[in-house]
Chain A
Amino acid sequence: GQSLEQPSEVTAVEGAIVQINCTYQTSGFYGLSWYQQHDGGAPTFLSYNALDGLEETGRFSSFLSRSDSYGYLLLQELQMKDSASYFCAVKGLNYGQNFVFGPGTRLSVLP
């Protein structure tokens, strides 16, 4: 099976950089995905790491290290609109195994 752990809450100020970690226990998976969800909204796809290393998309970057069973989402130049919940998710190797989401990290960006 698969299980993921994330910090429940993170607080930072506008303009800062924040890192949201995701550690996992899994028998194998294709890649690590990150989703953003604002209160009352739908999860929105942010990034996907199929391979180890850093993927950069604008202000957001995501990192994966399979050997460490660890990944993170890095948000730079924080803006108030970045206040949301962030979920990591993994997709199992076997056909039919679907996304398992982490519990989510609630990011609060302060002025």
Chain B
Amino acid sequence: NAGVMQNPRHLVRRRGQEARLRCSPMKGHSHVYWYRQLPEEGLKFMVYLQKENIIDESGMPKERFSAEFPKEGPSILRIQQVVRGDSAAYFCASSRAGHTDTQYFGPGTRLTVL
């Protein structure tokens, strides 16, 4: 049973470019969460999605960031016009049910903005 998959594992972008981060949840999981982690810091919630729906995006910056979880395919976290401050590890987690269920994390995507 494969765990949560994320790709790419490492992503380098220049300022102003776009970054696309992908997350495939565990089999049987329909709830996806995105977190950001800066070096030496804890995880910060960004967005919670179910298939085709954004449930909670209270942690997402208002500009340049968007997320989707289409009916088919992985969840995508998209960052437009990246800036140096976007450099961080972005983790995706999934759960079978939402709201109270345990979240299992993927290996993360480490984004570096030059």
9 tightest A-B CB contacts, nearest first: A96-B56, A101-B43, A42-B105, A101-B42, A43-B105, A103-B42, A30-B100, A42-B107, A104-B42
B103 is contacted by which of A30, A45, A102 (Cβ under 8 Å)? A45
Q: Are A100 and B105 in contact (CB under 8 A)?
A: no
CB of A39, distance to nearest CB on chain B (Å) = 10
B residues in contact with A100, CB < 8 Å: 45
What mask results when residues 14 to 44 of chain A are scored 1 for a CB within 8 Å of chain B, else 0? 0000000000000000110101000001111
A residues in contact with B41, CB < 8 Å: 103-104
Residue of B nearest to A48 (CB): B102
Q: Which of A77-111 contact B (CB under 8 A)?
A: 87, 89, 91, 95-104
Q: CB of B69 within 8 A of chain A?
A: no
Q: Which residues of B contact A (CB under 8 A)?
A: 33, 35, 41-45, 48, 55-56, 58-59, 91, 93, 98-100, 102-108
Which one of A41, A44, A87, A99 has the greatest number of beta carbons of chain B within 10 Å? A99
CB-CB under 8 A for A42 and B43, given A30-B100, A91-B100: no
B residues in contact with A41, CB < 8 Å: 107
Q: Are A96 and B55 in contact (CB under 8 A)?
A: yes
Bound form: Cα–Cα A27–B27 in Å: 33
A residues in contact with B43, CB < 8 Å: 43, 87, 89, 99, 101
CB-CB under 8 A for A102 and B42, given A41-B107, A43-B91: yes
Bound form: Cα–Cα A6–B31 in Å: 28
Bound form: Cα–Cα A30–B93 in Å: 18
Residue of A nearest to B56 (CB): A96
- What are 23 pairs between A and B in contact, CB < 8 Å? A30-B100, A31-B100, A33-B102, A41-B107, A42-B108, A43-B43, A43-B105, A44-B105, A45-B104, A45-B105, A48-B102, A87-B43, A91-B100, A96-B58, A97-B56, A98-B33, A98-B48, A99-B33, A101-B35, A101-B45, A103-B41, A103-B42, A104-B41
